[in-house]
A = this chain, B = another copy of it.
Amino acid sequence: MNSRPIGIFDSGVGGMTVLAEIAKELPNEDLIYLGDTKNFPYGDKSKENIIKISKKCVEFLISKNVKLVIIACGTATSQALEELRKEFNIPILGIISPTVESIKKSVKEKSKSIIGVIATEGTIRSNKWEQELKEKIEDITVINKACPLLAPMAEQGWTVNKVAKETIKEYMSVFKDKNIDKLILGCTHYPLFKGLIEKELGNGVEIINTGEKIAKAVTDYLNEQNANNDKTNNADCKIYLTDTECNFINVAEKLLKDESVKDKISKVNIE
């Protein structure tokens, strides 16, 4: 048993899609969320810069006594996970490995799979998804597509309007007639566009929300380590933002279907 909270960070509101899945899967766990809205967006920053700011995020979460850190951000996972693991002793989970492991289990032996990956410019450039998918799964074809407008659009709350619809249509056109089996949402902001993406790609394509996969990986990890929180009263959720002049609250309230998000938020300086 371990009653310390789980720490989660992202550049903005995107990681709240991961928090939502973890809260659903592990209702007894206290959660601490850090949204580094001051440095948003991570998507087109240099690798060095992402490593630097991710370290600050992990340091902040450690100062809050978390038992585990989840990088709920595709860009930080692809560019900084290795460095963070070298720097800190605390267990750190990114969004790529749990997702690839889960896909590996679901892909039948000797069947050929075509997988689409959408993510930020920086994540696609790092090629981490393709590398890890090909390393772990035989006979797999990967089609990558950078979608640099989606995270800024989600931060602004434009996830179902006409602009979002046309943007999804434009970005998804690269997958037309490519017969993809699955589409990985390689940025945690993207589940906010899930409805539009499904509509555009049709029923034949499985849309993979990395938050669901991480939530399962965290459950397994806590069970293995016997590190669950066994409290039976309501779990606590605290949200820290590095800049509060943003649309975080609106988006987060819709996402969590919870109108009290505002009361959970504090502003923090991590520099």
Chain A residues at the B interface, C-beta cutoff of 8 Å: 38, 40-41, 44, 46, 125, 148-149, 152-153, 155-156, 158, 161-163, 166-167, 169-170, 243, 245
* Contact residue among B38, B44, B125, B158 (Cβ-Cβ distance under 8 Å from A40): B44
- 19 A-B pairs, CB-CB below 8 angstroms? A38-B46, A46-B243, A125-B245, A148-B152, A148-B155, A148-B156, A149-B149, A149-B153, A149-B156, A149-B158, A152-B152, A158-B170, A161-B166, A161-B170, A162-B169, A162-B170, A163-B166, A163-B167, A163-B170
Closest to A38 in B: B46
Copy number in the complex reads: 2
Nearest-neighbour CB distance to chain B for A271, whole angstroms, equals 9
Closest to A171 in B: B163
Bound: A156/B46 CA distance, A: 17
Bound: A125/B244 CA distance, A: 13
From A125, A161, A167, residue with most partner B Cβ within 10 Å: A167
Nearest-neighbour CB distance to chain B for A75, whole angstroms, equals 15
Please give, as numbers and ranges, the residues of chain B lying within 8 Å of A38 by CB-CB distance.
46
